[in-house]
Amino acid sequence: MATNLADLAKKEITLTGGHRLCAGCGASIVVRQILAASDAPVVAGVSTGCLEVATTIFPYSAWANPLIHNAFENVAATISGAETAFQALKQQGKIDKEMKFIAFGGDGGTYDIGLQSLSGAMERGHDMVYVCYDNGAYMNTGIQRSSATPLGAETTTSPAGTKVPGKPRHRKDLTGIIAAHNVAYAAQASPSHWRDMVVKAQKALTIKGPAFLNVIAPCPRGWRARPEETIDLARLAVDTAYWPLYEVDDGVWKITYTPRERKPVSEWLKRQGRFRHLFKEENEHILDELQKDVDRNWERLQKMQSLSE
């Protein structure tokens, strides 16, 4: 399998150019890297969201591999059904080749509206990979808050005002929730650390059974940042440990990247307009709470890793 940039650059591009995702969209970068990790043909499913509506505008498609469009909430169920049908056809001798099944969903269609479908597919043990491109809100429908939205972030349904300074609750730990399903493989990744992500995608595709990848995917529109800052913002999320890179491989927890010098989370926040209000004096306590939460999560990950050793 290709794990260096030169080899990956030679792989067939199965999410082609010409789609209508925004300039700087993290989702398209994530999808292309994940698809490049597979040496076998891929059947993909995409839940309704930014990725689907911008790459499959009828009668066109930016996908060069078989694609199933799903409703917002059921991509995991659809791909688990396709994988089951494939296994049945193999047993009947009607198919003799290998194929990989990947479901893609945004955080709204994964953390929230699609969680029941995802949980069921993971629990049933299907040989499939679910990839969440996490941009931290329902970006496609107007930048509404999701349970992946960070504390204090301003969205159209958690506006920053004098009474409520942005979203009042912390984000959900979905990677931990899926790891608790005892799946074969679960991991967090970032397009800024492409080799780490490709290796994780290859593991997920190779392991027999359900696998889950949660990948941060900066959204310039929703994060109120410049399109050319996408990878820098993804890297800062990792270097501040807001988005730690780790994997849970057959129950073994491992941090796959440790920042040489962990930066304060404020360095990541101040680069995004959705957090601008947090730097006012009256909201500094939210910055403190965000840093404490990042510190707690990092310490917990280190403990989980130690227990696995």
Q: CATH number of the domain that 106 lies in?
A: 3.40.50.970
Average pLDDT, the chain: 95
Predicted TM-score (pTM) of the model is 0.96
Answer whether 151's CB lies under 8 Å from 283's CB.
no
pLDDT of the residue at 117: 97
pLDDT of the residue at 1: 57
Give the CA angle between residues 1, 33, 6 to the nearest 5°.
55
Q: How many residues does the chain have?
A: 309
In 3-state terms, what secondary structure has residue 134? strand
Buried/exposed code over 141-169 (b: 16+ C-beta within 10 A; e: otherwise): eebbbbbbbbbbbbbeebebeeeebbbee
pLDDT for 103 beyond 80: yes
Of 2-16, 25-39, 108-122, the range with the lowest mean pLDDT is 2-16
Number of domains into which the chain is organized? 1
Average pLDDT on 261-275 reads 98
Average pLDDT on 281-285 reads 95
pLDDT for 34 beyond 90: yes
- The residue segments making up the domain with residue 11 are 5-308
Distance CA(127)–CA(80), nearest Å, equals: 8
pLDDT of the residue at 12: 83
Kindly compute the dihedral angle of the four CA atoms of residues 111, 117, 121, 127, in this order, to the nearest 10 degrees: -80
pLDDT of the residue at 24: 96
